[in-house]
Amino acid sequence: ARPSPFLEPGSITAADNLAIILLSRDNLQPITLEESNGAVDGYAEGTMLNTRFGSFPHSTLLNIPWGSQVRASAVDTGSRGRKRRREATDEDTPTTGPDDETSKPAKKAVQAASGFIHILRPTPELWTSSLPHRTQVVYTPDYSYILQRIRAVPGTHLIEAGSGSGSFTHASARAVYNGYPQSDNDVRGKVFSFEFHETRFNKMREEIERHRLNGIVRLAHRDVYNGGFLSEGKSPGASAVFLDLPAPWEALPHLSRQKPKKASKQNGNVENGEWVSPLDPKKSVHICTFSPCIEQVTRTIEEMRELGWTDIEMVEIAHRRFNAIRERVGANLPAEKGNLQTPADVAEAVERLKQINRKTKEFHRAQAALTANGDADTSEMDVDTPPPISDKDKTNGKEPMSEEESKPWMHGRLYHRAEAELKTHTSYLVFATLPREWTDEDEAAASANWPCGK
């Protein structure tokens, strides 16, 4: 079987793969590329992607390098195409009378058809920005930090609950991936994801299969507050845990090394009448819980303390994107670059205008004097053209820039601007560590080897 496009996308697009269509900076559309032999859905060109930027037969999107720009097809999809464009997911799609070619909006649709799109390889980040929301999701600024704090690296076994819309699931699958596990006993990286909402669970299952992440992501339909975290009756052997649940403290007793003391929690993690820990006994376990309210944080931390978690810490990610740009003011290009450059401020602009006026007047006075003396033929003269301005005047008396400084990207004053908030579901992140299991045998072995083995 081919690997997931999220993990090993290859260098070119391929049929039956997810691709992310970039319509505009904040408008992404995930599609599955289809190879068609013959007409599909009434289109002779086969499966068609209809957007407000035009129509794109999938055949024009296949077998091209990821990141390619693709121009809309010249194909006339007629009123059927416009109708489909209106129905496309993009809400900005112009609304037109179905067959009214002369109305203004209809014209807009026809013009828009000459546009282009970019086709991008799927990444968890792009999936997060384009996935169908079934719940609140964890966004990139949070999950990138969480994954490094819970030490999700290639080979890690990670527990996640609940799966929700799968935003975190995709990011964690990439983080733990070190090849496809070939069997249940294969120790390669896996994500054990739990969801109790049946419709969401079914949707997630479809998506994980379509994205060819099954094998790496093990999904279970389970209420983890009562059922715990075993996967098909076996311990996931997890060393990393992420809980995005309304009541993480209800799930914590099942993330322990011993059978919970509370009777109400003793039925979880049980297989064949035996209680089984879902954690790796040989590793410390790193956990993150994700909660929007401080009251949830307090209860979670109380429970963590009771259960022996250490290094408990709460963090909030306040993400802001800064856009660094150059403003073209007062650029002082070498004279041979030609044009007058934008003045640095109003005073400089006024000074330059006065200079041009003065020179123009001088020029006309001189021409009038020459004409009066019969020395010049003014019949062809364009009296509106100002006189040539010297190199020194062009740079307003300043030294021209060096060749390096004159590069277009070096022009102007550098400044930065904070961009509108990137989407992030602001929650409190609680991190903690459960030390590895330490038995009498471990102690004896360590003592026998101390200080540096025999």
Residues interacting with ligand SAM, by CB under 6 A?
135-138, 161-162, 164-168, 194-197, 200, 223-225, 244-246
112, 139, 129, 103: which is closest to 27 by C-alpha? Answer: 129
CB of 201 to ligand SAM, least distance (A): 8
What is the C-alpha to C-alpha distance for residues 126 and 21, in angstroms, rounded to an integer?
A: 10
Helices (H), 326-439: 346-372, 391-394
Token pair of 338, please? Answer: 């030609």
Strand partners, 192: 159, 218
Q: Which is nearer to ligand SAM, 246 or 308 (CB)?
A: 246
Q: What is the CA radius of gyration of the chain?
A: 33
What is the C-alpha to C-alpha distance for residues 1 and 209, in angstroms, rounded to an integer?
A: 12
Q: Which is nearer to ligand SAM, 43 or 168 (CB)?
A: 168
Q: Which is nearer to ligand SAM, 136 or 144 (CB)?
A: 136
Token pair of 203, please? Answer: 């949707």
* Cα 42-78-102 angle, rounded to 5 deg: 160
Q: Which is nearer to ligand SAM, 98 or 246 (CB)?
A: 246
Strand partners, 289: 243, 430
CB of 191 to ligand SAM, least distance (A): 12
CB of 226 to ligand SAM, least distance (A): 8
CB of 264 to ligand SAM, least distance (A): 14
CB of 255 to ligand SAM, least distance (A): 13
Q: Which is nearer to ligand SAM, 82 or 200 (CB)?
A: 200
Token pair of 326, please? Answer: 């150059």
What is the C-alpha to C-alpha distance for residues 427 and 66, in angstroms, rounded to an integer?
A: 34
- The region, left, alpha or beta by phi > 0 then psi within -120 to 50, assigned to residue 233 is left
Cβ contact 189:228 at 8 Å: no
CB of 162 to ligand SAM, least distance (A): 2
H-run or E-run covering 28: strand 27-32
Q: Which is nearer to ligand SAM, 162 or 260 (CB)?
A: 162
CB of 148 to ligand SAM, least distance (A): 17
Strand partners, 19: 31
Residue type, 192: F
CB of 256 to ligand SAM, least distance (A): 17
Q: Which is nearer to ligand SAM, 226 or 342 (CB)?
A: 226
Q: Which is nearer to ligand SAM, 172 or 277 (CB)?
A: 172
CB-neighbour burial class of residue 396 (10 A; exposed 0-12, middle 13-18, buried 19+): middle
